Amino acid sequence: MTFSFIFKVHKACFSICAGSSRCRNLRNQILKVGSAKQSARLFTFNELHAATEGFKAACLLGEGGFGKVYKGYIDSINSKQAVAVKKLNRKGMQGSREFCAEVIMLSLFQHPNLVSLVGYCAEGEQRVLVYEYMASGSLEDHLLDIGPNQQPLDWYTRMRIAEGAAKGLEYLHDVAKPAVIYRDFKASNILLDSQFTPKLSDFGLAKLGPTGDKSHVSTRVMGTYGYCAPEYACTGKLTKMSDVYSFGVVFLELITGRRAVDETKPEEEQILVSWAQPLLKDRSKFSLIADPLLRGNFPVKGLHQALAIAAMCLNEEADCRPVMSDVVLALEHLSKPRNEVVIDDESKHSPVQLTNVQSLKRRSSKAELDL
């Protein structure tokens, strides 16, 4: 992928944002690039209106700041394909920029832990995105919005979700060229398929990472309160470490079952990170951090190691946080029950899980957690 292509796509985006009738430009520019990972289908608004039965309320899957998402069915080879159709709010240029960002990012980058873009519509003032349908909804649905008759996620499912989401960030940071800073990592943006495989969604706030000798991207502060890294919230300087901090918040949500911000709790417990920080410094209180819905069904050592990873990701000093590739390495074995962990000849003299977490700790030497 070349930067000349990025420039061409942005030109096409501005054409769309300005209401140009040449809305096919974006699709054509993406298809011309050999490194584009997937070609998005261009839909008419009538096709998507029919696919969702007129955007019927019964088809509504959810609603966010950028629009409503509906379940729909489109014609596919020999069958109907279930899709998620996001109809963006028509709020001028800002909504169009987010629309363009999603089309660009999801057309250029493909990974098992990123949601797939099926297509889009940019007809007149309509901005609609079509994604693969994720049958199990969002992580928020299963972790933070649990109904009285809903089974809570077990420990290893939580760790597998964390591992998969971490791999999605690792791909954006280390494999995608140019690198991408996701900027909106939170439970509601982690979608789950029928097997609970996590995929990152909603790339409307994603930014291309710094290039050359630049250390950061300067941008208006965007994101969700409670998930934003403190240095980004204060300065607007965005780096990959901003995503690492947000990952730490979500990982803490997975461990505790608590929201990043919960105004229904006592004042001293409303901000998850602030509530957890003193507990993370006292091993005798680690069990108080675990989600009560787990009913103690978790490995004690696994809990301690998971808290170590969370604490390192949440370090107030951005330079002391681990990179996502190291986080993935540590999580790969935490997500497997002990009898499923494969120990090769080179590592059989020491537990794999402990080795990975200690290695991660060495790379983040200022983390304030005594293992």
Output the known binding site for ATP: 87
- Cβ atoms of 157 and 51 within 8 Å: the answer is no
Exactly one of 75, 154, 174, 184 is catalytic; which is it?
A: 184
Complete edge-to-edge strand list for the sheet that includes strand 41-42: 41-42, 117-121, 128-132, 79-88, 67-76, 60-64
Distance CA 148, CA 142 (A): 12
Distance CA 328, CA 164 (A): 8
Distance CA 339, CA 129 (A): 43
- Cβ atoms of 201 and 193 within 8 Å: the answer is no
Distance CA 203, CA 106 (A): 8
- Cβ atoms of 17 and 96 within 8 Å: the answer is yes
Residue 184: active-site member: yes
- φ, ψ of residue 284 to 5 degrees: the values are -70, -15
Q: What are the catalytic residues?
A: 184
